């Protein structure tokens, strides 16, 4: 066991996955939550959301006596050397960031620091708009503890870059680690936790660390939107956007990832973060035009599925439409800002009978809409008797479906794919009508 003891505040994606990764690296790590059931579940190696491999990693940490759960923030901070604050920073109705959880937990940390003799570093890990660590978190910690940051305790900002569905890989083998600190001692202490991680490590100041996270997420969201914009232009000229972007991405300065066009980006991060930095910039007198456009294109992109269906197959009213994939991407049950919602609703509004299936996210999706949608328990059941099939996220289970399945089960084997799940030449050769946004054969 390593000598540093770690507290992770928050048992969401970032807190639990990173906590389990720290335990894997030999650190005594306690994840806190306000929900006692989650602590109880953790003890038996259970996790509150679906993430491939996480349950096994958590169990390994628990069985080794290194990973623990608790509902007591203050006691855990007091008993540790570093606290990573990983609570959620959701959007407010106007798109700006809700820092309520960060404020509340910073108060707890400050209260704990008050009675502590040993040196402790507080690390902001949640995605927070620039200046939050030094202008909001620091004053709360100092007020509650009666101590001074940079003298009596350390303060860092360490953004998280993990992707849902690939969170284990990303947290155990990150591309890079960024630590912004109020002073060198704080940074050096946090870097000790990352000693066993083999990747480039960057030291910087607090605000730059905060901004790096927004820069990364906004650039990735912009890449996707750029591909979507070109997909819409490609359609006019009968050019296949996937082939085009393959050629574009071969330029090492551009790189091929996050250029997959389709129905737009969803999830708890890109939409929230692009909105938050846009709102912050506007509040401070700058209107970020590129980011506004990214949000704008992303709103309309999923609606192109219904337009495409109408243009290709005629009025969808009364048609049975199989919708495959309800989570915002494969390998997660997360439906936050999923593009499946505007797609499903636009088809229902056009009078279609939507029959939806997802391997993990159906129950979560049901809570998002009261529209008349039928939910079934397999992809094949959704396809039965359908006039067309919409693929919203490319789960491996859908990839396994063959042209024969679509032809055998559907009334008409028509697929509109939001993700390019299959090889179009193969599908079309095998007798399926297979189209997608920005494809050569789209309209």
Interface residues with ligand UGA (CB under 6 A) are 127, 160-164, 217, 220, 224, 258-260, 262, 265-267, 269-270, 328-329
Dihedrals phi, psi of 226, to nearest 5 degrees: -60, -45
Q: Cβ closer to ligand UGA: 160 or 417? A: 160
**Distance from CA of residue 406 to its chain's centroid?**
31
* Residue with token string 């509004």: 349
Dihedrals phi, psi of 83, to nearest 5 degrees: -120, 120
Contacts of 26 (CB under 8 A, 6+ apart): 1, 2, 66, 196
User: Burial, 427: exposed, middle or buried (Cβ in 10 Å; 0-12, 13-18, 19+)?
Assistant: buried
Q: Cβ closer to ligand UGA: 404 or 423? A: 423
Minimum CB–partner distance for residue 261 and ligand UGA (Å)? 7
Q: In what order do the strands lie in the sheet with 433-436?
A: 373-375, 353-357, 320-324, 388-391, 414-417, 433-436
CA–CA gap between residue 169 and residue 259 (Å, rounded): 21
Does 269 participate in catalysis according to the annotation? yes
| Token couple for 49 | 């959301």
Minimum CB–partner distance for residue 428 and ligand UGA (Å)? 23
Q: Cβ closer to ligand UGA: 242 or 434? A: 242
What end-to-end distance do the CA atoms of the chain give, in Å?
61
CA–CA gap between residue 42 and residue 68 (Å, rounded): 7
CA–CA gap between residue 17 and residue 38 (Å, rounded): 14
Which of 76, 234, 269, 389 is flagged as catalytic?
Answer: 269
Minimum CB–partner distance for residue 259 and ligand UGA (Å)? 6
| Token couple for 94 | 């106007």
Minimum CB–partner distance for residue 272 and ligand UGA (Å)? 8
Beta bridge partners of 7: 30, 83
Q: Cβ closer to ligand UGA: 113 or 178? A: 178
Q: Cβ closer to ligand UGA: 81 or 164? A: 164
Contacts of 286 (CB under 8 A, 6+ apart): none
* Residue with token string 């499903």: 344
Q: Cβ closer to ligand UGA: 162 or 352? A: 162
Minimum CB–partner distance for residue 217 and ligand UGA (Å)? 5
CA–CA gap between residue 102 and residue 152 (Å, rounded): 21
CA–CA gap between residue 114 and residue 144 (Å, rounded): 7
Which value, to the nearest 10 degrees, does the dihedral of the CA atoms of residues 256, 95, 126, 165 take?
-40
Q: Do the Cβ atoms of 342 and 375 come closer than 8 Å?
A: no
Minimum CB–partner distance for residue 372 and ligand UGA (Å)? 25
Minimum CB–partner distance for residue 146 and ligand UGA (Å)? 34
Minimum CB–partner distance for residue 105 and ligand UGA (Å)? 18
From residue 349, alpha-carbon distances to 290, 318, 362, 385 in Å are 31, 11, 20, 21
Q: Cβ closer to ligand UGA: 10 or 266? A: 266
What does the chain come to in residues? 443
| Token couple for 383 | 């396809």
Q: Select from 34, 29, 10 the least CA-distant residue to 19.
A: 29
Q: Cβ closer to ligand UGA: 163 or 312? A: 163
Q: Catalytic amino acids?
A: 269
């Amino acid at each position: 066991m390593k000598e540093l003891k770690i507290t992770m505040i928050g048992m969401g994606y970032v807190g639990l996955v990173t906590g389990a990764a720290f335990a894997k690296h030999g650190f005594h790590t306690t994840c806190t939550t306000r929900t006692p059931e989650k602590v109880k579940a953790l003890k038996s190696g259970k996790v509150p959301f679906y993430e491939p491999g996480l349950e096994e990693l958590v169990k390994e940490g628990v069985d080794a006596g290194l990973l623990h759960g608790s509902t007591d923030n203050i006691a855990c901070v007091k008993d540790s050397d570093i606290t990573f604050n990983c609570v959620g920073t959701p959007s407010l109705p106007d798109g700006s960031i809700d820092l309520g959880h960060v404020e509340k937990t910073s108060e707890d940390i400050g209260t704990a620091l008050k009675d502590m003799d040993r040196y402790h570093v507080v690390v902001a890990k949640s995605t927070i708009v620039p200046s939050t660590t030094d202008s909001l978190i620091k004053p709360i910690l100092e007020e509650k503890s009666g101590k001074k940051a940079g003298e009596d305790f350390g303060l860092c900002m360490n953004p998280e870059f993990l992707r849902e569905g690939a969170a284990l890989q990303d947290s155990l083998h990150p591309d890079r680690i960024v630590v912004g600190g109020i002073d060198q001692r704080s940074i050096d202490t946090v870097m000790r936790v990352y000693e066993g991680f083999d990747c480039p490590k960057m030291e910087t100041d607090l605000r730059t660390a905060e901004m790096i996270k927004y820069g990364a997420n906004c650039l990735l969201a912009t890449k996707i939107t750029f591909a979507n914009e070109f997909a819409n232009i490609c359609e006019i000229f009968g050019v296949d956007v996937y082939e085009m972007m393959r050629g574009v991405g071969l330029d090492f300065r551009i790189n091929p990832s996050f250029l997959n066009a389709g129905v737009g980006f969803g999830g708890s991060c890109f939409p929230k973060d692009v909105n938050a930095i846009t709102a912050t910039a506007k509040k401070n007198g700058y209107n970020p035009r590129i980011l506004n456009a990214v949000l704008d294109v992303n709103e309309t992109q999923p609606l192109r599925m219904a337009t495409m269906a109408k243009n290709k197959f005629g009025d969808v009213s009364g048609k049975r439409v199989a919708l495959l994939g309800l989570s915002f991407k494969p390998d997660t049950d997360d439906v936050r800002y999923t593009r499946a919602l505007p797609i499903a609703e636009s088809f229902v509004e056009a009078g279609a009978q939507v029959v939806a299936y997802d391997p993990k996210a159906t129950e979560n999706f049901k809570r998002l809409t009261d529209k008349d949608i039928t939910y079934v328990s397999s992809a094949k059941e959704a396809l039965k008797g359908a006039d067309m099939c919409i693929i919203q996220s490319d789960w491996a289970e859908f990839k396994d479906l063959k042209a024969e399945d679509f032809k055998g089960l559907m009334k008409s084997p028509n697929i509109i794919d939001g993700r390019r799940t299959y090889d179009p030449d193969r599908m079309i050769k095998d007798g399926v009508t297979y189209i997608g946004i920005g494809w050569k054969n789209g309209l």
